[in-house]
A = this chain, B = another copy of it.
């Protein structure tokens, strides 16, 4: 589907022989599509192409490249060209570029930018000083403002001046007094009102403002809740520092989503993509979780060894252990996934715990009974297995699934309550926890339902 894969090899040839033709071809395309194509070229080819373009044409393409692509291109591009392009980028994309670069490269480039475009360098510093995933880091300093309370006419002039400089979207004009945010005037009002209308008459309070230290996920929630396209970032003194636009929020949602999914899959969230994460960094992200789960699973072996007098007494009983305990893990994983997601979207609150417990125990009973029936039939497919053992397997499954659903649903709520990220109780952690409990349920059910068999066998511990 991507143009790039179709024209890749041809493109490289044409780029070498007649770059101006390519430039003309690309001028028809959206910068996003050109970025897609450049992303598939070698960094030096992409750099050579971008360096030939006027900076104001190169910037909208460059800012749409992936971070790692930008980094690779910066490595091979003359610093003068990088600085020229950076000067033409949108302030938030520019700050993102400098954040993504290795510190020494970024610092050297910022010094160069300082000489060429001191205002742009200042904007980078303003944004970069806030933590990586905060509102301050996400905001752009490209917004229309009028320094005091004037008329619609002047606001239109401010929009005109802004429009000459930037393609950034305009939703509102911000009315400031000594940098303090007095109110906002939606663009729509500027279209509808008489030019002589006083802004003070039509300006309104913003629905929400956010502090630069607010986490980006919380900003996203606020904007989604109130259906906002833009939200102003103001500091403790109510001075306007920048605005956050919805297109960045869509990216935040995707990024937070990826982190959530990785946590649920038992991987510590990666900072970069799958291919960009270095091998040993990857080993650390996965290894920590695997080792913890592995050590938790030691207890399955300990438990089985501890109860060997039961497991050995019933021929073949040990062979049913993986089947039985994995079912507990699966049902518990379902429950914990449902609750973790419900907590994340806000549908479920810790105070709902008893309603959840009631539902989950009911579901555990119904699901466990169904699986117990299937399990019993399975056992009886072996002619040498007794009804007592088939009953033991069935009763164990009921107990294990009820226990799985209970632990799986209560653990995220408990963690949330004591201030730990509920996603920590993801399916693999729940599974390793309920595996041991599953073995204990199995041997105790067997000790009751098959008391004679167990007693008749070897001397108990």
A residues sitting closer than 8 Å to B (CB atoms) are 30, 32, 156, 159-160, 163, 169-170, 187-188, 190-192, 207, 220, 223-229, 246-247, 249-251, 253-254, 257-258, 260-262, 264-267, 273-275, 279, 282-283, 286-287, 289-291, 293-295, 297-298, 300-301, 304-305, 308, 311, 316, 318-323, 325-327, 329-331, 333-334, 336-342, 345, 347-348, 352, 355-356, 359, 362-363, 366-367, 370-371, 374-375, 378, 401, 427-428, 431-432, 435, 439
Which of chain B's residues have a CB closer than 8 A to the CB of A356?
Answer: 274
Contact of A287 among B169, B321, B341, B370 (CB under 8 A): B370
Which of chain B's residues have a CB closer than 8 A to the CB of A287?
Answer: 366-367, 370
A5: shortest Cβ distance to chain B, in Å? 9
Q: Are B341 and A192 in contact (CB under 8 A)?
A: no
A274-B338 contact given A191-B190, A250-B253, CB 8 Å threshold: yes
Which B residue sits closest to A160, measured CB to CB?
B192
Which of chain B's residues have a CB closer than 8 A to the CB of A223?
Answer: 250
Q: Are B264 and A265 in contact (CB under 8 A)?
A: yes
A26: shortest Cβ distance to chain B, in Å? 15
Q: Are A330 and B363 in contact (CB under 8 A)?
A: no
Which of chain B's residues have a CB closer than 8 A to the CB of A229?
Answer: 169, 229, 246-247
Classify the interface of chain A: helix, strand, loop or mixed: helix
CA–CA, A288 and B257, complex, Å? 26
Which of chain B's residues have a CB closer than 8 A to the CB of A325?
Answer: 322
Q: Are A338 and B187 in contact (CB under 8 A)?
A: no
A266-B30 contact given A254-B224, A326-B432, CB 8 Å threshold: no
Q: List 24 A-B contacts (CB under 8 A).
A: A32-B225, A159-B188, A187-B191, A190-B191, A224-B251, A254-B345, A260-B261, A261-B261, A265-B337, A266-B330, A267-B338, A274-B348, A279-B366, A286-B331, A294-B375, A295-B374, A300-B322, A301-B319, A301-B323, A311-B318, A318-B319, A322-B439, A329-B431, A333-B428
Q: Are B286 and A301 in contact (CB under 8 A)?
A: no
Q: Are B266 and A333 in contact (CB under 8 A)?
A: yes
CA–CA, A310 and B435, complex, Å? 24
Q: Are A322 and B435 in contact (CB under 8 A)?
A: yes
Which of chain B's residues have a CB closer than 8 A to the CB of A257?
Answer: 253, 257, 260
CA–CA, A334 and B346, complex, Å? 26
Which of chain B's residues have a CB closer than 8 A to the CB of A341?
Answer: 258, 261-262, 265
Q: Are A363 and B283 in contact (CB under 8 A)?
A: yes
A294-B371 contact given A266-B337, A322-B304, A323-B300, CB 8 Å threshold: yes
CA–CA, A338 and B341, complex, Å? 18
A365: shortest Cβ distance to chain B, in Å? 10
Q: Are B290 and A367 in contact (CB under 8 A)?
A: yes
Q: Are B334 and A286 in contact (CB under 8 A)?
A: yes
Which of chain B's residues have a CB closer than 8 A to the CB of A258?
Answer: 341, 345
CA–CA, A268 and B207, complex, Å? 38
Q: Are B326 and A297 in contact (CB under 8 A)?
A: yes
